[in-house]
Chains A and B, each alone.
Chain A
Amino acid sequence: MSGIFEYNGGSIVGMKGKNCIAMACDRRFGQQMSTITTNYQKVFKIQDNILLALSGLNSDIHTFYALMEKEINLYNLKENRKMKPTTFANLVASALYERRFGPFFVTPIVAGLENGKPILATYDSIGCKSDLDDFQVGGTGGNYIYGACEAFFKPDLSPEELEEVIGQSLVSGCDRDSLSGWGGVVYVLTEQKLTVKILKTKQT
C-alpha cells in the first residue's frame, strides 16, 4: 500500500514556448504493479485554446474532467462567449479548494493561449495555483521529468523545437519511473493548430 497518488501511476508535463504551448503525458493506466491498459487519455481539450492535463487517481481524473467540462459548457451557454485561459486556471483552483477537506486526488496542469500569450498553471491537490515557471510537471514521474526539463528547456522555443524538447523530457523522465510509460502523447497548441503526436517509448 503506497500513496493514493501512486495507485494508478502516470506523468504529465507542460511547457511554454514562443506563442505556443505544449503538453505531454504517458499512456499507462495501472493498478499498483499491474498494467491494465496502455491508451489512457490524461490530456483533455477543454476549448480550442485550452488544454487540461490531469494526473493522480484515475477515477478522480475522470470525475474532475467531467466537472470542468460541465463548468465550461455552462459558461459558454450563459455568457455566450469563450472562456479565457486565465479564467479557467482560476476556476480549476477554486474547484479544487472547494473540496479542501475532502480533496480530489489529482494534480492538474492547465495550459492555454490567450491572444497569442502562453498561459501555464499547475496546482497541488487542494488548489494552490503556481503559474510563474516556464514548465510544470505532475504525476509519479514528475520529479524525474523535472531534471530532464531543467537540462533541455530554453525559453521562447518555436513549436517544432518545443515538440522535441517536451517529448524528450517526458520519455527520459518516464524511463526512470516504473509506474509511468507505455507510450507518450505530445500536444502542441498554436493559435490556429493543435498537433497531436503519439510517441514510441520503451515497452515496459
Chain B
Amino acid sequence: MQYLDNYLQSKGGYDYTNVKRNELMKAQGFKEMPFTKTGTTIVGVIFDGGVVMAADTRATAGSIVADKNCEKLHPLAPNIWAAGAGTAADLHHQCAHFNAKLKLQRLNLNRQSRVNEVITKLTTKLFPYRGHIGVALIIGGIDSNGPQLASVSPHGNYVYHPFQSMGSGSLAALGILEAKFQDGLTKQQAIDLAIEAIEAGIFHDMGSGSNVDVVAITKEGVDYRRNIRQYNAKSHQKQIPYQFPANNTPALRKFEFNFEKQELSEVGQEMEIVE
C-alpha cells in the first residue's frame, strides 16, 4: 500500500478519503457542526489615486461568536489586498495559496502582479468547484492599469465597479455607499465613507460586529489600520476579581515531568556522513 500513499502524497490538493464515511453518517441522521463563517460586512471604494477596503471583525459558528477580533483583510501581493466573506477556513487557505502563487509568479517574471490576473486565477479555480469553496471576495489593488476594484462570488462570477460590498451586512453597507459615493473622492473621504458603511453593517446585521479594519492602497504603498474603530470594548472592570488560593481544587493524583529547556532553531544540526 505504500506506493498508493506516495502517489496520493505527490498529487497535492484535496484529500477525499473520508467523504464516503461522512456521507454514510449523514444518511444515518447525524448532523455536522457548523463551520466558522464570517457573516461579515466588507466594502471597497475607489478614490482618486487608489483603493480603500474595510471589513468588520466578527467570526461566527452558528449563532455563537467564534472570534471577536478576526482578520478579514488579506494581502495577496504588495499592491493587491482581498477582503473576504464566507467560510473562514476557505478564505484563509485560498488567500494564503494565492499569495504564494502570485509571489512565485513575480519571482519568475520579475513583474508586478495585476488585479485582473488575480480575478482570472480565482474565478477559473472557483468555477469547477461549483460554489462549494465558500469564498466571496472583494479584490482591490493598484497596478499599471490604475486603481481597480472587483468582487468575486463563490461560483466564480466577477464584477468590476467603483464601490462594492459583500457579506451578510452588504445590504446595510450598500445603502450608505449608494447614497454617499461620488467620483473623485480623496483618500480620507474614501476611508471615512468605508468606515461609515461598515458601521451600518455592524449595527444592523447580526452576523457582523466588533471592530473595523481598514486598508488604503496607493502607488506610494499600503496603509493598513487594524482596529481603526472599536465600538464594543469592555466598558467595566470586574468588581471583585476572582482569586483562587493555591491547591484549591482537590486532586486525585498529580504527576510532574521535568525536561530540558527546548532549543528551537531554524536550521538543524549537520548530519554526519558515514562513508
Contact = CB atoms under 8 A, between A and B. Distances in A.
A49 B245 CA distance: 27
Contact of A80 (B244, B246, B269): B269
Given A81-B267, A126-B89, A152 B29 contact: no
A192 B248 CA distance: 24
B29 A1 contact: yes
Nearest to B270: A80
Contacts of B196: none
Interface in A109-161: 113-115, 123-130, 132-133, 143, 151-152, 154, 160-161
B3 interface: no
Interface stretch (B12-20, B158-166, B175-183, B216-224): B12-20
Given A151-B242, A198-B253, A2 B15 contact: no
B4 interface: no
A115 B264 contact: yes
B70 A93 contact: no
In this complex, the interface size class of chain B, counting residues with CB under 8 Å from chain A, is: 35 or more
A176 interface: no
A193 B256 CA distance: 7
Chain A interface, DSSP helix/strand/loop, else mixed: mixed
B15 A98 contact: yes
Given A96-B89, A192-B259, A199 B254 contact: no
Interface stretch (B32-40, B104-112, B201-209): B32-40
* List of 3 A-B pairs having minimum Cβ-Cβ separation, nearest first: A80-B268, A102-B18, A102-B19
Contact of A100 (B30, B90, B242, B251): B90
In this complex, the interface size class of chain A, counting residues with CB under 8 Å from chain B, is: 35 or more
A4 B61 CA distance: 16
Contacts of A3: 30-33
A181 B34 CA distance: 24
A97 B268 contact: no
Given A81-B269, A125-B33, A143-B64, A99 B254 contact: no
A199 B131 CA distance: 47
A61 to B, nearest CB: 14
Nearest to B68: A133
B269 A128 contact: no
Contact of A49 (B17, B238, B262): B262
A143 B15 CA distance: 31
B35 A124 contact: yes
Contacts of B36: 124, 128, 130
A195 interface: yes
B69 interface: yes
B132 A101 contact: yes
Contacts of A171: 249
B30 A48 contact: no
B262 A48 contact: yes
Contacts of A197: 249, 251, 253-255
A113 B133 CA distance: 34
B188 to A, nearest CB: 29
